[in-house]
Structure 1
Amino acid sequence: MATLRRLALATLDGNWEHDHTVPSRTLYPHQWSWDSAFIAIGLAHVRPDRAWRELRTLFAAQWADGRVPHIVFNPALRVGSYFPGPEFWDSAVADAAPAAATSGLVQPPVHALAAWLVHRRAPSEASVRELRWLYPRLVAQQRYLTGQRDVGGAGLAAIVHPWESGLDNSPAWDAPMAAVPANADVMRAYRRHDTVHADAAHRPTDLDYARYVAIVAAYRGHAYTDAGLAGRHPFLVECPLVNAALGAAEHALARIAVVVGADPGPHQDRAARITRALVDRLQDPVTGAFHPRDLRTDQLIPARTVLGLMPLILPDLSTRQAEAVVAEACSARFGLAARMDRPLPSHDRTAPDFEPLRYWRGPSWMNTNWLLWRGLRTHERPDLAAGLRESMLELAATAGCHEYFHPDTGAGLGSPAFSWTASLLLDALAEE
């Protein structure tokens, strides 16, 4: 265990960039939103001052409308060193954008949970000051997602791009993406950065990227405004992960509110409303499994992916609802058990489109397994939580702090020194 701890700490120290941590030195040289939240959780065990600085740096780039951009660009890097870079996003076209160059999208709002866990791990007068600074910004983030992004009108946040889910090329997005007009030839105008550092067979395809570019162009063309999304935007989905994180954030904010002298009641009420809406809108009444809802068709997307397991992080799921998620996780699709060789894959391994090497279409990822691990403990399944934790530790011990992993062999894929893998490894190690 000491060896794993040293590996994780060395990875985080190697990726520290004066006021934030890059996900990796090769594939991702800027600051990413939900990466920084996960990174802060691990840093709380070893570098709590850095954990708070990580969150402060990210929220210093928050937009005036409350959105937290999914990328904050490092101005010291040369133009063209990453695609899609700041010149592609052109965030200055938006009135709400900050002075810093950012993207115009968001990622799952796991930041309030991260802030609470950092404080709980190392409570101090300094951490209370940090919570006081973050609290109104976290509230603004929630207000943006439950307000301007409530396209479906039921109290859930809609994502406007697959990148906002964090699971970029998940099979969950195949059907709504197929309706996005794009030609793979459009990518000839760009130089992809990811395939320089990783095998193209492990990454999203050029056609995927052509559609990603088309969706961003549509959003950027309206200066990243959300008014009228339902009538004009080519991709609109209610995602189980994003909305489970939204509900979990309200639970965390209720705890933070007590510390900073605010009223926790409104957060508790909003958390309950989000959970009810998520169950009403995204849970299949027949199977009990959770699915994204395509707002363009108003239909649940049938793919069974790890996204559907993420509502387990919500403490106010009923016993019946939680048991349905656990049953899905324990099925042959994902393989959760009290004793297991590997963490869960990102997609149904029994599906014909399961791809064990391609990004979010099959490989195992530390962050989604960590979220499931938290959910299992929340819903009092210590047996399954222990089995999942052991498989996560064994994976890192065998392959190191890779970005993602082959779900069968455990071989490391993507970046070989990935920050959130290292950080969440530290958190799992701390629960000895």
Structure 2
Amino acid sequence: MTTTLTGPSAQARAALRRDATRVLLANWTGMSTVPSRTLYPHQWSWDSAFIAIGLRHLSPRRAQRELEALLGAQWGDGRIPHIVFNPAVRLDAYFPGPDFWQSTTAGRAAGAPPGVETSGIVQPPVHALAAALVHRSDPESSRRRGFLKWIYPRLVAWHAYLLRDRDFTGHGLASIVHPWESGMDNSPCWDGPLQRIVPVPAASFRRADLAHSDPADRPTDLDYGRYVRLAADYRGHGYRDAGTSHPFAVEDPGFNALLIASEHALAGIARVLGRDPRPHRERAEALTDSLVRHLWQPHAGMFLCRDVRADRVIEEMSVTGLLPLVVPSLPGRIASAMLRTARGDHFGLGSTSALVPSYDLLGSAFDASRYWCGPAWFNINWIIERGLRLHGAETEASALRHAVLDAAGASRFAEYIDPLTGRGRGATHFSWTAAVTIDFLARHDHGRDHEHDRREYR
């Protein structure tokens, strides 16, 4: 794969935007957008945030509706579930489905909404950042519909849930209780903590994903057996966090970095609504301090995950440890070290790999085709590009943006790609790939968002 700093021609950009728009139109259900019509036929939490970021350039109102549909399924304790199920979709179209999660019954004590079936776990908190960007795309429409006024208290409750109920160590950081909550489902980072989990037998469940994707691209049956065990046990505790023994509990730097970025976004939303932004800024700074103090590892040149149960650092180098580049007040020495790590042999940005891979290229578990064990993901590279710009690495950011556009078009908007060859893997016509493509194309033409972000963080 080759990358140029000039990027695609105007004609190529127009064709790419047209094709990406078709993907989002085809995956729109009338209320929200599915990630994939075949592989993921419901609404996913962080997918919808990225989808809204792209949709805002096509229809700000539809982008608002995307987030409103997701937040409409928020639980009473503040959590945003990682899946909102569409009752029109067959039960066997996706596993684990609503009959497994049983949110309206098992989750009642935790405040699961009675009128919609959801999962009981969460995904990375990128929603406030998405909401701020959606508002910015058409402030007049947003004000007229009361978008920020409606969504702001729900986002506040979401962050409060994470900081109140998921701080298991007192570090001030949120922990994930299932690998799926990281968004990086089968990352080798989780292999150590998952050794504690006794898997359910593979014969006890039927994986719908293998009917739509190459098994070599997907997590193994052993992985799934452990995922199902964790989810079933969490369901058995009523999806409560307090008083529950979590056999899997990890402080994930990427998850917390997105929480910090979203707290900064909430500060901007509060100011637009005439409210005091200082509590959000203070919380973001406190989180940043905790992130650096507890998860920064100088020997690795990046942030690493911490196994809460074992009270030890997980030495696997995953792209989640580079996502804190999106934190605006990251100390300069740390940002510089992370840039060196991204460019180095472990991630090969701009040399071995045009896009940042999901896992250490030199790691023993690296697999260029298997899900989060190495492939490069488009939404992750959107975050990395944003972080590069925030920390002044404009040349690298531009090269990465152009590489994303090249790879998205060449792979037919693949779910992810082989980071070494650029070959598309997983599903095609994937919604967040199309969405970040549209966002990059819009910013290629206008280039306004990052200047606005710098003003926000001053």
Q: Determine if the TM-score, normalized by the shorter chain, exceeds 0.5.
A: yes
- For the pair 1:320 / 2:361, whether they are aligned, the reply is no
Q: Offset of 1:397 from its aligned partner?
A: 2.3
After alignment, is 202-211 or 124-133 more displaced? 124-133
Alignment of 1:19-168 (within 5 A): 19-92=31-104, 93-94=106-107, 95=109, 96-99=111-114, 100-127=116-143, 129-168=146-185
**Tell me, what secondary structure is at the counterpart of 1:16?**
coil
**C-alpha separation in 2, matches of 1:285 and 1:410:** 31
**1:268 aligned residue:** 281
Match of 1:278 among 274, 282, 291: 291
- For the pair 1:244 / 2:261, whether they are aligned, the reply is no
Match of 1:408 among 408, 417, 420: 420
**C-alpha separation in 1, matches of 2:368 and 2:298:** 29
Letter in 2 for 1:291: L
CA contact (8 A) 2:61 2:141 kept: no
Cα deviation digits, residues 37-74 of structure 1 (max 9, x gap):
00000000011111000000000000000000000000
Letter in 2 for 1:119: H
**C-alpha separation in 1, matches of 2:14 and 2:388:** 26
Structure 2 residues not aligned, in runs of 5+: 1-12, 445-458
Q: Offset of 1:122 from its aligned partner?
A: 2.1
CA contact (8 A) 1:31 1:71 kept: yes
**C-alpha separation in 1, matches of 2:141 and 2:207:** 45
> Share of identical aligned residues, percent?
53
**1:216 aligned residue:** 231
CA contact (8 A) 1:340 1:391 kept: no
Q: Offset of 1:399 from its aligned partner?
A: 1.3
CA contact (8 A) 1:373 1:388 kept: yes
Q: Offset of 1:81 from its aligned partner?
A: 2.0
After alignment, is 348-357 or 136-145 more displaced? 348-357
**1:394 aligned residue:** 406
**C-alpha separation in 2, matches of 1:426 and 1:56:** 21
**C-alpha separation in 1, matches of 2:406 and 2:22:** 18
**C-alpha separation in 2, matches of 1:397 and 1:23:** 17
**Tell me, what secondary structure is at the counterpart of 1:124?**
helix
Q: Offset of 1:125 from its aligned partner?
A: 4.5
CA contact (8 A) 1:341 1:391 kept: no
Q: Offset of 1:187 from its aligned partner?
A: 2.2
CA contact (8 A) 1:340 1:387 kept: no
- For the pair 1:258 / 2:275, whether they are aligned, the reply is no
- For the pair 1:197 / 2:212, whether they are aligned, the reply is yes
CA contact (8 A) 1:340 1:388 kept: no
CA RMSD of aligned residues (A): 1.2
CA contact (8 A) 2:416 2:424 kept: yes
**1:294 aligned residue:** 307
TM-score (norm 1): 0.97
Alignment of 1:168-207 (within 5 A): 168-183=185-200, 186-207=201-222
**Tell me, what secondary structure is at the counterpart of 1:139?**
helix
After alignment, is 307-316 or 174-183 more displaced? 174-183
Q: Offset of 1:340 from its aligned partner?
A: 7.4
**Tell me, what secondary structure is at the counterpart of 1:415?**
coil
- For the pair 1:418 / 2:430, whether they are aligned, the reply is yes
TM-score (norm 2): 0.91
Cα deviation digits, residues 128-173 of structure 1 (max 9, x gap):
6101100000000000000011111111001000000000000111
CA contact (8 A) 1:5 1:426 kept: yes
